[in-house]
Copies of this chain bind each other. A is one copy, B any other.
């Protein structure tokens, strides 16, 4: 027996704090349980006893004669802890604490919530809330509405988790209004115990829940969420609205990767990697739910449009193309068949325009014919009011054909009045209807997205042979000197130790050493200063490229020393790195940023001067699978450049993918790496390799010292 069953599928519920006083939660929840005809025993508990909403009330939970699966707790916050003790004495294992006044009110409430959770754990209970709207299960065997939302739910196939109680109630109202039904609903509130992850796991194998909707303001355990969602979204769509994206706690971070990240990018990456469909408005969340409730997952992305008016057909085509879906190529056989009954003025090319006079039979025959076409995966049926036809009759006729052909998604676009949609909301429907073409196109897009995700291989997290000893030695040296920021040389060496292709180089502290290294690498070379105090080298003229000879190297070196001296920056100078000059005009960037909530994130995209301006970068939560890495590379616009646009050498995609995976391994081995930039990761025009030409690594000092056993760190000692 799964451990939420006592809460979500109880045989008996006690309402502790039930009340006869109107407009109180203790009264509303009793009414809801009664009106929705809970299929089990209802025990109101109130110190005064009596009859509440027609049920015998008990003065304490101990008085209740039968066994109780679920206690719905609505008493004042100060009584909640005692109530839990009493529930334990009664042998109750399921709690839903609606009462507010805990963590959300400040430190004292948070302490009380901590004690609450301790009791729940100690007693082996599960607990929804506190500070929530309640729970709901529409299955006829259960039939429980234990919420105080305004309206009774419609039966459906959605499992819905809401973090906000008030908004959850609003959403329940709107969904009822839209005739979108639920299987189960959990208002997790402060999520002291049960959270979105618990719900996901609980619904994974529950066939009554066919899709999962989430309203979230935060994700409690990102790694666990990712693991669960990745697995479960393969079985049923998970659609999430994550609010608070502009509130990005984006304190000016010191590196590029940091400043480009920000909390919402992390959430976005996590959801994308986990196969969760992210919506940005409630409106779209509902629309997508409606589509998944009424459509099978399609076999492909080829869309046919059936319309009785050209204009909406054009608008639907526009929207479908913009989502990257294909306009289906109708087969000749289908065209012939359509011509056999449609008037000559009709167009049998996709979009199929049956013209304004199309009677209901044409809608039926055309749809039936098009559904059968093997080149068609999804269908949009458009109706614009025409003298003599009734919209609802057309809808019924279309649904009749759909009922006989359930294998492909069919979406209706009925550009008519709200009266039509009100009428629909009181009917059984077997396909989604929208007012506007763009809404249907978004629905098709979501269906296709779920199809692609279900077909996507799971991927593996590879493990490469790397030189950990060397990497640690380098980092330890930095730590011992109290430096969180590794020097360029150290950074590049750590990358090298992890098998990342870095450009050939050597370190010199005087001009003769520099020339000796230059001679051994071969010209042209690049000279870069390394400094303990200056992090953006180009800004101070610390990078000299295309040095063609030993003589030129000598000149540049001397010039650098002079410039730094003039600027008073000479003291930080450690020396210069002499590097092979890799030719290529495609500068990418790969890196690591740490999100305070989601942990290490991988970054990849267009680098160089374009990084902040074009923001053509993508993020994923570490660790990466090979599929994640491959998708990262493909998802940036600059991918076409990597493929070899404009006569450039095609990049070695597998080598670049491996670079990302090795970086991911690095940060998994050393999670104290706070920021890492390879910028540029230059694509060699000669070989197509991605070569780390410059790198920066920054660690979290205390954490790093602890992990690597460095005790003499001056900074930590402060």
Q: Could you list which residues of chain A lie within 8 angstroms of chain B, going by C-beta atoms?
A: 23, 28, 148, 150, 164, 166-167, 169-170, 173-174, 176-177, 215, 217, 243-247, 280-283, 309-312, 314-315, 317-319, 321-322, 356, 384-388, 415-419, 421-422, 435-439, 536, 538-539, 546, 548, 585-586, 606, 608-610, 612-616, 637-638, 640-641, 645-648
Contacts and interface: CB of A to CB of B under 8 A. Distances in A.
Contacts of A615: 637
> Most B CB atoms within 10 A — which of A167, A217, A311?
A311
A28 B419 CA distance: 22
Contact of A385 (B150, B311, B416): B150
A157 to B, nearest CB: 22
A500 B470 CA distance: 57
A436 B612 contact: no
Given A356-B166, A435-B283, A318 B243 contact: yes
A411 B132 CA distance: 29
A316 to B, nearest CB: 10
Contacts of A174: 415-417, 435
Nearest to A177: B417
A640 B616 contact: no
State the 10 A-B residue pairs at the shortest beta-carbon distance, nearest first: A167-B311, A246-B321, A164-B311, A177-B417, A281-B438, A539-B647, A166-B309, A246-B318, A613-B640, A283-B436
A283 B438 contact: yes
Nearest to A264: B318
A606 B606 CA distance: 14
B614 A314 contact: no
B173 A416 contact: yes
A605 to B, nearest CB: 11
B281 A319 contact: yes
Contacts of A245: 318
A439 B436 CA distance: 15
Given A217-B311, A387-B28, A418-B177, A648 B280 contact: no
A153 to B, nearest CB: 14
B246 A317 contact: yes
6 contacts: A169-B385, A177-B419, A244-B318, A246-B322, A609-B641, A609-B648
Given A215-B311, A418-B418, A613-B640, 11 more contacts: A164-B311, A167-B312, A246-B322, A280-B318, A280-B438, A282-B436, A283-B435, A283-B439, A422-B422, A538-B646, A539-B647
A426 to B, nearest CB: 12
Contact of A614 (B283, B386, B436, B614): B614
Nearest to A318: B246
How many copies make up the complex? 2
A641 B309 CA distance: 47
A548 B547 CA distance: 12
Contacts of A638: 610, 613-614
A422 B423 CA distance: 13
A614 B387 CA distance: 48
B610 A641 contact: yes
Given A244-B314, A641-B609, A385 B647 contact: no
A167 B148 CA distance: 44
Nearest to A310: B164
Q: Which of A166, A283, A309, A616 has the most CB of B within 10 A?
A: A166
Contacts of A415: 167, 170, 174, 282
Contact of A647 (B317, B422, B538): B538
Given A166-B384, A173-B417, A539-B647, A436 B610 contact: no
Nearest to A439: B283
Nearest to A537: B647
Contacts of A247: 314, 317-318
Contacts of A586: 609
B283 A609 contact: no
Contacts of A421: 418
B436 A315 contact: no
B418 A170 contact: no
Max count, chain B CB within 10 A of own CB: residue among A245, A312, A418, A610: A610
Nearest to A320: B246
A167 B384 contact: yes
Contacts of A616: 614
Contact of A309 (B170, B384, B387): B170
Nearest to A643: B613
A27 to B, nearest CB: 10
A235 to B, nearest CB: 29
A417 B215 CA distance: 19
A243 B439 CA distance: 16
A429 to B, nearest CB: 16
Contacts of A243: 311, 314-315, 318
